[in-house]
Structure 1
């Protein structure tokens, strides 16, 4: 477990092994990747939520200006939230923003979805359309 400090908040970062245990003990998983990334595959857990922290634009990635508003519509400030992204960078920033907004139980998943997959944990991927395999 490591922590990143800023002037106002300390983000606790845990590895995916600890994260998996937190999820099974009732933490809500908040995936902050883009919808496109999420749809390609995500952590396979029941209590998952996808709210992008950043969007891809022609100018590059920009922060989602409605991120905190969208989270507050779905989560209480007392919920136990595990924040994940692709590699752990966006989730670190998202975790810091949530803590600054008075969310009390926020944990960052270090390594993100990439580390989850690398450890062989269960993922959910879209069903492949096999209709193109059929010959007419």
Structure 2
């Protein structure tokens, strides 16, 4: 029997690139909607043509890093957030708390980033000097 002809199942490399285009487009549309900015307004703010921006949002075009940076500026969110969404950057390591912060649709990208920065600073501090409970117990023992 001859080799079976492979039937496209939506999992090939080209399909994955198309999915990334749709994902970033949907993400941009969601951010624009959250910011209550029209497509035309974002087009002006970002310096990207209205038809091109529309094609990005519909997943028909995959924007370059430079275009994503312009869009991020127009949306007043971090370019890194768009780069991660577009698959240009890897998602920062997380856990349940960072994942929950990133998933919260009620927070702006700026608010999410500030919360993540504070959370990570606490984690670094605790790793350097032990956990807060341990520090408190050690301080109580030295007073006795």
Higher relative contact order (CA 8 A, sep 6+): 1
TM-score (norm 2): 0.22
Under a length normalisation based on structure 1, what TM-score does the superposition of the two structures give? 0.22
- Structure with higher helix content: 2
**Counting strand residues as a fraction of each chain, which structure ranks higher?**
1
